[in-house]
Structure 1
Amino acid sequence: MYRLYRLSTRLLEKILSRKYPERFSPPGEDGVEVWMHAASVGESRVAAAILEETLRLRPGLRVLLTLQTRSGLEQARKLLKSLPGIRIRLAPWDGPGTIGAWLRKLSPRVLVLIETELWPNLLFEALSHGTPVLILNGRLSSRSFSRYRRLRPLFAPLLARVSMAGVISEEDRERFLALGIPPERVRILGNAKHDLSFRRVEDLDPVPLVRRLGLRPGERLLVFGSMRRGEEEAVSRIISGLISVPDLRFAVVPRHPERAPEFEKHLTARGLAVSFFRNNHQLAGARIIVVDEIGPLFTLYALAEAAVVGGSFQPLGGQNPLEPAILGKPVLFGPHMENFPLESRILLSGGGARQVNSVEEALSVLFDWLHHPDKAREQGWKAFQCARKLRGASRRYAELLLRFL
């Protein structure tokens, strides 16, 4: 199966290289010790957390970080601008000629793939050049695993030769084993993304957002974070059920800002007044704010009385429940948290989160927290204690990486 993939990508190389020359031209860099490859914005955060720890342990290391998307490239440059020795650029096309040229030019001592950036020619060429291949912060959602399992004949012979895979959870370990990585080469090391969230707390300044929202003493904020397509009705029903609570305000943050008008439409259909966040600096008194830009969610969590985590009220796998937990907030999510099994399990077992199966259950939990704030604060404290247990993964990944240098 790999031969067919190799042949097709070689043919496409000739066609696409004229249209996207930057993806096919050899890198300007000569000789790096680490070539790290990640996908987009989320993975760039993971890469940044691991690289910060790696360079703390081994200053002066020469690293090239490649990203698949321009948004990921911009995010990585922001996160790593203070670290010397790291060069960042767009990833090459996964063609055998292109990848071979990159490897000959770079001569990396190790290739690091972040999460699920498994590209057949990149794997094959690196292994053929004798370059150790590591998978760090490895994760396979149920959806990704189904896709890769169908392609097992393509990936299994390559993954069997990977030097080591550090993965997030037991579920991820079982899935990587099923794709062909030998058991002795898979280790559960946690999620490096959480370390970056802890560092963000140190730099957090909520005052500008408090002023923009016009939050007054005694007002409370309920935050719906990273809400996804199909969750508009659940959000509007919950807010409609809580709108009578005095001094309670609501911030709805869609995972994708372009979905903001859909949330606004469902809320106004219930007779609720909505204000958009973007370009609006007169939000004092606005009961319901729909956030139509990227960026404010973490600070909103810091100001929240409680957090409702999206992607969990539809079969979408859930969003990260640890961000509000790190900030000491009680966390509520729906029945679908398949993409965060370890985090949700630890929060639930430690009493830091509640999982509900319906809007009615969600309203019951939220009413309880709002009418018994001491209970909400206690659950938030437990959430923080649970989150602390998941720190330190980026250092473990850095130590694993340095073993191969």
Structure 2
Amino acid sequence: MNHHSHTLPPRPAPSLFFRSVMKLYSIFSVGAIPLFWIIAKKRLNAKKEDPKKVQHRFGITNVQRPKGPIIWLHAASIGETRMALSIAYKILQDHEKSYILITTQTLGAQTIVENIPRIIHQMAPFDSRVYVKRFFLYWRPSCAFILESERWPNLLYEAFKHHIPLIGINTHVSEKSLRRWSILKLFFSELLGLFSVCFTPSKKIKEYLMHASFGKGLIHLSPSLKYVLPSTVCANTHSPEKFSSVWSKKKSFFKGHLYWLASCIHVCEIPIILKIQKNLSKQIPNLLLILIPRHPDRFTDFPKNTAYRSKEDCILEKTSLYVVDTFGETQKFYQSASFCVLGGSITPEGGGHNLIEPVAEGCAVIHGPYFHHCPELYSAFIEKKASYLAKDVQTLTKIIQNFLIIPQNSKIQSQRAYEVYCSTQEEIHSYLDYISSICKEIIVKK
């Protein structure tokens, strides 16, 4: 990635073939408008949409557009939205007269961007030309940052036609998408060519896209924004020497109970975690498991003596399970726990979650072998022995038991992980400076 030149390269005009395909797609998306209404209604009934915001899906809003440049960040779910927030905080710090518009696809993602000064949240419009065009005519963003794999044809093409520079951040392409792209190589190559530039932390993705001529050479390697927490963007004060301060702030939530934390646990992983707790409790009296499910509403078959955070239940002597079925409190538990089992990695259905969040709070991480959604992130820690990889349930149980019986081992592991985390921060903040400078250039030109 070149940090010296901020000028975005001009985008070539799409070919007649691409314009023809997009015209057909546009006609189809307009014809599918009744289907979009049905989808919206089903999502409302399933409580996957906010009744106050479902109109955003049709490009309609009652939010007043502020006077001044708007930088648009488009994300899908919570993970991408956290990365978007890192960019947002940096831009807001450097450009006092600018505003940030963040669009998301999921209801959960909106909870972490609401009520932040100069940040506007909208649900992303359905990919019909009617809704997308309405969205752009109202918001008129100066430029757009598209997170990971959010590449909707109408959304990108309308942005291009409205002369909005498109920048891909943490560009990701799944193997399934790569196979699909191979069938329609020319179309997807030109779709990616609508971007002024794309950044990816994956050498594999960059090499594949370059080899397949996708994006006409506009793919560049960059640090992964999964390595940074939004709250640290403006401060940039993390250093290995600060670990002692982080560790000293740890406190027990439940006095009289030895406890361990299992976070971001998927439904299919919960029975495994509960079985481990049952086996460990036979050897360690009054052992408490703090369980933070990935989706609290999807699993209800917990033991009788379970305490729930949402009910403000008290922890009794016989309590062996405490379920954190509330949102936005995970960080508090990372700050207090000396280690955690990070879910989404124990069974193949997962794929891994962001281990930076616990590590940044001085919490050692134990995880399973399934982290195909973010292999570079996990590999960096595994190679430096900064996270524990448990390939099976028996190994997972032994590591948890070791950390519980010998707390010093979890502290050593936490410190090692914290050092790896700190080593990534300088490059990431340089990358964020570069992104901010791109915005400055675009805003000045407009």
Q: TM-score range by the shorter chain?
A: 0.7 to 0.9
Instruction: Summarize the alignment of residues 304-319 of structure 1 with structure 2, pairs less than 5 Å apart.
Output: 304-315=337-348, 316-319=350-353
1:44 corresponds to which residue? Answer: 81
Q: Is the 8 A contact 1:112 1:133 kept in 2?
A: yes
For 1:339 and 1:25, the matched residues in 2 are separated by 31
1:162 corresponds to which residue? Answer: 195
1:402 corresponds to which residue? Answer: 437
Shift of residue 278, structure 1, vs aligned partner:
2.1
Q: Is the 8 A contact 2:68 2:97 kept in 1?
A: no
Q: Is the 8 A contact 2:346 2:369 kept in 1?
A: yes
2:101 corresponds to which residue? Answer: 64
Shift of residue 193, structure 1, vs aligned partner:
6.4
Deviates more, 1:17-26 or 1:308-317: 17-26
Shift of the 106–278 alpha-carbon distance from structure 1 to 2, 3 Å rule, reads closer
Shift of the 230–152 alpha-carbon distance from structure 1 to 2, 3 Å rule, reads farther
One-letter amino acid matched to 2:80? E
Shift of the 322–176 alpha-carbon distance from structure 1 to 2, 3 Å rule, reads farther
Shift of residue 25, structure 1, vs aligned partner:
4.5
1:8 corresponds to which residue? Answer: 28
2:3 corresponds to which residue? Answer: none
One-letter amino acid matched to 1:11? G
Pick from 259, 264, 268 the counterpart of residue 230 of structure 1.
Answer: 268
2:161 corresponds to which residue? Answer: 128
For 2:174 and 2:285, the matched residues in 1 are separated by 40
Shift of the 193–39 alpha-carbon distance from structure 1 to 2, 3 Å rule, reads farther
Pick from 233, 257, 270 the counterpart of residue 296 of structure 2.
Answer: 257
Instruction: Summarize the alignment of residues 346-357 of structure 1 with structure 2, pairs less than 5 Å apart.
Output: 346-357=380-391
Instruction: Summarize the alignment of residues 335-350 of structure 1 with structure 2, pairs less than 5 Å apart.
Output: 335-350=369-384
For 1:370 and 1:63, the matched residues in 2 are separated by 44
Shift of residue 154, structure 1, vs aligned partner:
4.6
One-letter amino acid matched to 1:181? G
Shift of the 388–353 alpha-carbon distance from structure 1 to 2, 3 Å rule, reads same
SS in 2 for 1:281: coil
Q: Is the 8 A contact 2:338 2:362 kept in 1?
A: no
For 1:63 and 1:232, the matched residues in 2 are separated by 38
Pick from 250, 262, 278 the counterpart of residue 310 of structure 2.
Answer: 278
For 2:409 and 2:369, the matched residues in 1 are separated by 22
Q: Is the 8 A contact 2:346 2:370 kept in 1?
A: yes
Residues 38-81 of structure 1: CA distance to partner in whole angstroms, max 9, x if unpaired?
A: 22333332222111101212221243332334443343123xx2
Instruction: Summarize the alignment of residues 192-211 of structure 1 with structure 2, pairs less than 5 Å apart.
Output: 192=226, 194-196=228-230, 198=232
Deviates more, 1:155-164 or 1:65-74: 65-74
One-letter amino acid matched to 2:372? E
Shift of residue 294, structure 1, vs aligned partner:
2.2
Shift of residue 132, structure 1, vs aligned partner:
1.5
Pick from 344, 357, 363 the counterpart of residue 397 of structure 2.
Answer: 363
Shift of residue 345, structure 1, vs aligned partner:
1.1
Q: Is the 8 A contact 1:149 1:179 kept in 2?
A: no
Deviates more, 1:245-254 or 1:387-396: 387-396
Q: Is the 8 A contact 2:157 2:194 kept in 1?
A: no
Q: Is the 8 A contact 1:221 1:305 kept in 2?
A: no
Q: Is the 8 A contact 2:198 2:218 kept in 1?
A: no
SS in 1 for 2:144: strand
Q: Does 1:215 align with 2:235?
A: no
TM-score of the two chains, using structure 1 as the length reference = 0.83
Shift of residue 391, structure 1, vs aligned partner:
2.7
Shift of the 42–236 alpha-carbon distance from structure 1 to 2, 3 Å rule, reads same
Q: Is the 8 A contact 2:227 2:421 kept in 1?
A: no
Q: Is the 8 A contact 2:307 2:313 kept in 1?
A: no
Residues 331-365 of structure 1: CA distance to partner in whole angstroms, max 9, x if unpaired?
A: 11111011221221121122221112111111222
Shift of residue 401, structure 1, vs aligned partner:
4.9
For 1:58 and 1:31, the matched residues in 2 are separated by 11
Structure 2 unmatched runs, 5+ = 1-20, 41-53, 238-245
SS in 2 for 1:76: coil
Shift of residue 119, structure 1, vs aligned partner:
0.9
TM-score of the two chains, using structure 2 as the length reference = 0.76
One-letter amino acid matched to 1:8? F
For 2:408 and 2:72, the matched residues in 1 are separated by 49
Shift of the 179–305 alpha-carbon distance from structure 1 to 2, 3 Å rule, reads farther
Deviates more, 1:389-398 or 1:164-173: 389-398
1:97 corresponds to which residue? Answer: 130
CA RMSD of aligned residues (A): 3.4
For 1:257 and 1:143, the matched residues in 2 are separated by 29
Task: Give the share of equivalent positions with the same residue, in percent.
Answer: 22
Q: Does 1:292 align with 2:292?
A: no
One-letter amino acid matched to 1:240? K
For 1:332 and 1:252, the matched residues in 2 are separated by 14
2:49 corresponds to which residue? Answer: none
For 1:247 and 1:176, the matched residues in 2 are separated by 54
Shift of residue 259, structure 1, vs aligned partner:
3.1
1:377 corresponds to which residue? Answer: 411
SS in 2 for 1:103: helix
Q: Is the 8 A contact 1:54 1:399 kept in 2?
A: no
One-letter amino acid matched to 1:48? L
